[in-house]
């Protein structure tokens, strides 16, 4: 049993409990309840789930039905009034809908069909581990090819050389992979075990008390106690908060979506109202508490069902034969893996295990294959064809004698080194090294490489699609402009507003000295009209938002408000900027709960209380938000709304100044909002509230019904109060970065939700476009024929122009003329898409990649950028004020946009060129030994006999040459200074000339020449010592390869010197160990000078041709010397 606790309110007028908070909610959050129909809605007959829809941010509803014993107490001012239930049978009968009933606090045996809440993130289990790992490895052609080659050695008819020489490299590669997979899976198992055994207090009717239950044993319907900073084990519906009478609590979602801000949640008012005098846990009747929750069933297509994102329902409470009904929504829930950040709470589990939101959202990331990997796969296919061709040619020259197909297969085995088994291992090691180099670069400190398979892709990019707010700009807002219709206020003239509020304060004090009978709203008309208007304007700005004040220190009385270290948290930096501005001129938002606002005039000591009657949240579809508030002193009710001018224009009384002033501010690069309001009578509000509550009780299409009621009752004839202008400054280094990437030949597109004028201003100031660039604007085109004419005009627009298009026109382009639009838009060096939705960003990225077949990078910092980041060839996320969601979803995370230039021009160049050189040399290493085998077979009458024994072949690809070859990843063709000073050098990388069919042919010819020369000269020089031909050829081969590595370098490091010396020492040591070598002959001068002569003849001509080719066709960077 729990001990009794003294109740306390987290926010009161007399004192404040301090929390150091950041933002508490996100209007962009993609959290939803999705539903699908189920014919059976009885208890647990079908699975239930929370799910999300990434394309809809509407609130989603479920249904609560709670029955209390007759002696339960209901004593809470927040408890809703009794509302007659909707007559729609489907809205009340779960059996006729797609709802599932969950009984609260029911016996455990009645919940035996509840899904398990055990966490199991293991990729394998003990039985499937080895088969699964082996399948994952052998589904790739290269590994399967080498397995077949190795298995063929079991049969004597196919055996050529030592079986170990074929199984050894394959087993080594597989062993490394298996150990790595086992270790990673073991770490996942340990983490899962820790979470599964975490204990929670569960209220139990059977035990008439609470029991400690491991997280893995929790079931749907359990009522659990969550304390501060405790992880949420499953998706919960909040029944009651134990430290706040209002039912408010804060949660953290950083472990779920990377968001670092705190988010506000509220208990269901019906259950929050229980036992106002006693602690909820100490109420004897809690164990006979009868309640039920109706939630939507889940089906395999829940996530893809667009209609399910509009799931709705209702809640009701039965008390003394009276039913109270109320809708519940996403704000009454806490998702699994969130953390309760304040106080403690009771919640009922509504989704558990694999049906929780986090589980349903867990899916394998889209596998990104870089262009370099595609090129490698293409060359690998050519190598296989070369292997078959060489084998077939030998059989053909031999006249297809005897069992020629067996002979041909033996030749395929002999030439298997043409396809190097170590190629993939070397490239993977190289990719990991590139990633560590990026992360350890002090110049771009904080960079994180999350996808190790795409570093080379950084050197092949052509398009950069970037967000604006928080990416190019700081996302640190400051309100610097206010226009009231006849006066424009800037930072220099804000003192005039403060003076007007002083005048209002003086009249207010005079009003306060009047008798109570004289204190009416009418007497305010005696005030200076201009001062009253200004107060009402600032008051509206201080009320219409979703900002929550927080404090750094506890125990401070309200009288000390001016000394508080007050901070504001919200999902939108714009809103914080406006509330901060209101505070600077005298109206301080001091306290907020789900239902109240407390504003204090910190300069004058007056306090104002407001009741939040209705909150209309911002959505990307509506582009506005509003509140209905009641002044607790005067009793007046007002509806205040703010939003984009494009939507506010339709619901406000027409005027002749808003459009002009919005355009003026936008041209200065300011983010604008239009603020308007109107007064509501109590009678009119009562009608609106009744209609709104009826809409909230609907199970289906609830949000549409709510929107319709708000539109019919509120959104018309509003009077514009002002237009606000908020400045978002450019990040440091953005201008130089964009100038560098433009000079490097990148085509930069800016995708933003801001107005066209604001977007153009930022494009100019950030140097997204050149100095004298012109803009071609397409806006407000809704007719396909008109759009076709606009697109036709683009054919005659110079490519140096910046194309600007708004969201409406862009959507029509994507729907009606996607191919034509992309083909025309990609002609321009820069494109700006304004009023762009998250969905449109993703569609644009996909279209550019698909239609141009070029490589695209997308960069952003917010949750609305996740879609395009995941769809792009390279997704780059910034860790910004909008949280970590974009960073966590990205392939590479950066701290600043200015780090982009170094990432591409330096690390992108190095990663691509190093992998090209490494892969080409590994292929050459396999080709040359196969050519030697080919020549040996020809000279010895087409016999499929190995030239070198197995140990030498294994040593050749490992200890004799492995370290020098791999250290090619340390080489750089130009210095860091040159790469950043001459960004034009990046253009050469896009041509793919460093690794293509032409370069493959060059290396193939080199291998043929060197392999042939080594064999022929060895036979020529050492005829008297033919018995030593193997050691002669192999030594010449090793010397040739080590020399070839050296000439590939532009800069020789001490690591390369150590590797060269070490490899030679290992080879010399093996001569004393392996029986292949006759040391008496090896130590003779004859052997030494003839081997050196063979190596020189095989190596020098190749270098001579290379020097001549370089002189005739020098590289771009060599021209800078």
- State the Cα torsion 1054-1060-1061-1067 to the nearest 10°: 160
- Closest by CA to 327, choosing from 282, 294, 298, 368, is 294
- Angle value at C-alpha 85, between 80 and 87, nearest 5 degrees: 160
Cβ atoms of 641 and 625 within 8 Å: the answer is yes
Q: Which residues, 6 or more positions from 635, have their beta carbon under 8 angstroms from its beta carbon? A: 682
Cα 35 vs. chain centroid, distance in angstroms?
25
Cβ atoms of 802 and 828 within 8 Å: the answer is yes
Q: Can you read off the two tokens belonging to residue 1099?
A: 């190596």
Cα 1000 vs. chain centroid, distance in angstroms?
38
Cβ atoms of 1021 and 1076 within 8 Å: the answer is no
Total Cβ atoms within 10 A of residue 869: 29
Cβ atoms of 535 and 501 within 8 Å: the answer is yes
| CA gap 431, 421 in Å, rounded | 17
Indicate the SS3 state at residue 1074. coil
How distant, in Å, are the alpha carbons of 455, 463, 729 from that of 748?
20, 6, 20
Cβ atoms of 42 and 297 within 8 Å: the answer is no
696 is in an annotated binding site: no
| CA gap 974, 909 in Å, rounded | 10
Judging by beta carbons within 10 Å of its beta carbon (0-12, 13-18, 19+), is residue 140 exposed, middle or buried?
A: exposed
| CA gap 245, 825 in Å, rounded | 57
Total Cβ atoms within 10 A of residue 306: 10
22 is in an annotated binding site: no
671 is in an annotated binding site: yes
199 is in an annotated binding site: no
| CA gap 513, 532 in Å, rounded | 18
468 is in an annotated binding site: yes
835 is in an annotated binding site: yes
How distant, in Å, are the alpha carbons of 65, 319, 347, 936, 1053 from that of 68?
10, 6, 16, 93, 79
575 is in an annotated binding site: yes
61 is in an annotated binding site: no
Indicate the SS3 state at residue 248. strand
**H-type helices in 546-681, by residue range?**
573-585, 645-648, 658-667
| CA gap 1099, 1042 in Å, rounded | 11
| CA gap 1113, 988 in Å, rounded | 14
The residue behind tokens 């050098």 is: 985
Q: Give the torsion sign (CA, 218, 220, 222, 226).
A: positive
467 is in an annotated binding site: yes
Strand 315-319 with 322-326, pairing: antiparallel
How distant, in Å, are the alpha carbons of 97, 174, 915 from that of 424?
54, 12, 11
| CA gap 220, 347 in Å, rounded | 11
Q: Which residues, 6 or more positions from 548, have their beta carbon under 8 angstroms from its beta carbon? A: 21, 24, 264, 568, 569, 570, 592
Cβ atoms of 308 and 297 within 8 Å: the answer is no
Strand 61-67 with 315-319, pairing: parallel
Catalytic residue IDs: 467
What ranges make up the beta strands (E) of 472-516? 473-483, 488-490
284 is in an annotated binding site: no
217 is in an annotated binding site: no
- Closest by CA to 27, choosing from 338, 309, 302, 259, is 259
Q: For residue 212, list its beta bridge partners.
A: 201
HEC sequence for 447-468: CEECCCCCHHHHHCCCEEEECC
Which parts are annotated binding residues? 467-469, 575, 618, 642, 671, 752-754, 835, 841, 861, 864-865
Which parts are annotated binding residues for Mg(2+)? 467, 469, 861, 865
Which parts are annotated binding residues for ATP? 467-469, 575, 618, 642, 671, 752-754, 835, 841, 864-865
């Amino acid at each position: 049993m729990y001990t009794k606790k003294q109740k306390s309110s987290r926010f009161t007028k007399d004192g404040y409990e301090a929390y150091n908070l950041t933002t508490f909610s996100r209007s962009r959050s993609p959290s939803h309840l999705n539903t699908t129909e189920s014919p059976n809605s009885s208890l647990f007959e079908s699975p239930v789930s929370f799910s999300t829809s990434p394309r809809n941010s509407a609130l989603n509803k479920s249904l609560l039905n709670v029955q209390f014993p007759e002696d339960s107490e209901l004593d809470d001012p927040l408890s809703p009034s009794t509302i007659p239930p909707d007559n729609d049978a489907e809205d009340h009968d779960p059996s006729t809908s797609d709802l599932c009933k969950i009984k609260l606090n029911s016996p455990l045996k009645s919940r035996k069909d509840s899904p398990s809440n055990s966490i199991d993130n293991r990729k394998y289990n003990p039985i499937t581990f080895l088969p699964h790992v082996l399948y994952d490895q052998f589904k790739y052609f290269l590994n399967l090819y080498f397995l077949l080659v190795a298995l063929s050695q079991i049969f004597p008819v196919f055996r050529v050389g030592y079986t170990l020489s074929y199984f050894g490299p394959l087993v080594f590669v597989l062993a490394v992979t298996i150990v790595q997979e086992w270790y990673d899976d073991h770490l996942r198992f340990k983490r899962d075990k820790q979470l599964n055994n975490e204990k929670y207090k569960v209220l139990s009717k059977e035990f008439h008390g609470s029991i400690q239950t491991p997280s893995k044993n929790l079931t749907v319907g359990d009522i659990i106690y969550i304390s501060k900073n405790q992880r949420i084990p499953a998706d919960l519906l909040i029944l009651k908060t134990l430290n706040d009478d209002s039912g408010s609590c804060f949660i953290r979602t950083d472990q779920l979506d990377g968001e670092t801000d705190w988010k506000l949640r509220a208990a269901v008012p019906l259950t929050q109202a229980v036992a106002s005098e006693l602690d909820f846990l100490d109420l004897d009747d809690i164990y006979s508490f009868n309640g039920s929750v109706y939630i939507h069933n889940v089906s395999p297509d829940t996530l893809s069902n667009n209609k399910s994102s509009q799931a709705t329902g209702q809640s009701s409470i039965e008390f003394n034969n009276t039913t109270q009904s109320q809708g519940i929504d996403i704000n009454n829930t806490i998702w699994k893996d969130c953390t309760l950040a304040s106080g403690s709470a009771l919640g009922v589990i509504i989704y558990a295990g694999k049906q929780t939101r986090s589980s349903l959202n867990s899916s394998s990331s889209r596998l990104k294959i870089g262009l370099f990997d595609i090129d490698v796969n293409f060359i690998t296919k050519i190598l296989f064809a070369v292997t078959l061709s060489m084998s077939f040619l030998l059989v053909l020259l031999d006249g297809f004698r005897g069992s020629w197909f067996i002979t041909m297969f033996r030749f395929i085995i002999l030439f298997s080194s043409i396809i190097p088994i170590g190629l993939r291992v070397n490239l993977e090691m190289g990719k990991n090294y590139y990633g560590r180099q990026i992360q350890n670069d002090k110049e771009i400190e904080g960079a994180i490489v999350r996808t190790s398979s795409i570093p080379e892709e950084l050197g092949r990019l052509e398009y950069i699609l970037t967000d604006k707010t928080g990416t190019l700009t700081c996302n640190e807002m400051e309100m610097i402009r206010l226009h009231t219709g006849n006066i424009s206020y800037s930072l220099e003239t804000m003192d005039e507003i403060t003076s007007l509020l002083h005048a209002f304060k003086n009249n207010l004090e005079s009003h306060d000295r009047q008798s109570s009978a004289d204190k009416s709203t009418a007497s305010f008309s005696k005030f200076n009209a201009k001062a009253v208007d200004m107060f009402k304007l600032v008051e509206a700005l201080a009320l219409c938002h979703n900002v929550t004040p927080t404090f750094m220190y506890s125990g401070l009385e309200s009288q000390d408000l001016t000394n508080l270290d007050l901070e504001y948290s919200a999902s939108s930096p714009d809103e914080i900027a406006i509330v901060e501005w209101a505070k600077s001129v005298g109206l301080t938002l001091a306290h907020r709960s789900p239902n109240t606002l407390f504003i204090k005039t910190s300069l004058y000591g007056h306090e104002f209380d407001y009741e939040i009657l209705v909150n209309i949240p911002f959505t990307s579809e509506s582009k506005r938000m509003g509140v209905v508030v009641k002044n607790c002193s005067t009793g007046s009710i007002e509806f205040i709304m703010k939003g984009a001018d494009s939507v506010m224009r339709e619901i406000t009384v027409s005027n002749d100044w808003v459009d002009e002033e919005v355009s003026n501010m936008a041209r200065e690069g300011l983010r604008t909002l239009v603020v308007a309001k109107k007064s509501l009578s109590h009678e009119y509000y009562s009608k609106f509230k009744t209609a709104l509550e009826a809409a909230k009780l609907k199970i289906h299409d609830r949000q549409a019904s709510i929107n319709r009621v708000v539109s019919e009752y509120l959104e018309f004839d509003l009077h514009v109060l002002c237009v606000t202008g908020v400045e978002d400054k450019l990040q440091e280094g953005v201008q130089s970065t964009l100038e560098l990437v433009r000079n490097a030949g990148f085509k930069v597109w800016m995708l933003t939700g801001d107005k066209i004028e604001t977007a153009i201003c930022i494009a100019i100031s950030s140097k997204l476009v050149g100095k004298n660039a012109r803009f071609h604007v397409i806006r407000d085109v809704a007719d396909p024929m008109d759009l076709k004419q606009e697109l036709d005009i683009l054919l005659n627009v110079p490519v140096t122009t910046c194309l600007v298009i708004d969201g409406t026109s862009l959507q029509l382009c994507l729907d009606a003329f996607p191919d034509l639009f992309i083909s025309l838009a990609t002609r321009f060096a820069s494109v700006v898409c304004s009023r762009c939705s998250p969905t449109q960003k993703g569609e644009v990225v996909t279209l550019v990649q698909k239609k141009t077949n070029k490589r695209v990078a997308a960069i952003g910092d917010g949750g609305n950028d996740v879609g395009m980041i995941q769809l792009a060839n390279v997704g780059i996320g910034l860790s910004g004020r909008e949280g970590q969601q974009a960073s966590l979803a990205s392939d590479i995370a950066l701290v600043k946009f200015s780090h982009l230039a170094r990432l591409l021009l330096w690390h992108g160049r190095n990663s691509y060129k190093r992998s090209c050189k490494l892969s080409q040399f590994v292929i050459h290493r396999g080709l040359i030994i196969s050519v030697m085998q080919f020549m040996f077979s020809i000279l010895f009458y087409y016999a499929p006999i190995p030239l070198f024994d197995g140990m030498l072949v294994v040593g050749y690809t490992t200890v004799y040459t492995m370290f020098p070859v791999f250290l090619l990843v340390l080489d750089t063709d130009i210095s860091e200074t040159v790469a950043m000073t001459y960004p034009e050098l990046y253009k050469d990388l896009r041509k793919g000339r460093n690794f293509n069919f032409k370069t493959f042919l060059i290396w193939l010819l080199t291998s043929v020449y060197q392999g042939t020369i080594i064999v022929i000269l060895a036979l020529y020089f050492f005829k008297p010592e033919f018995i030593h031909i193997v050691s002669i050829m192999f030594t010449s081969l090793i010397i040739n390869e080590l020399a070839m590595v050296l000439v590939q370098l532009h800069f020789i490091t001490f690591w390369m010197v150590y590797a060269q010396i070490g490899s030679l020492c290992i080879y010399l040591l093996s001569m004393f160990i392996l029986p292949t070598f006759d040391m008496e002959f090896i130590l003779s001068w004859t052997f030494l000078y003839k081997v050196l002569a063979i190596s020189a003849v095989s190596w020098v001509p190749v270098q001579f041709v290379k020097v001549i080719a370089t002189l005739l066709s020098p590289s771009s960077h060599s021209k800078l010397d």
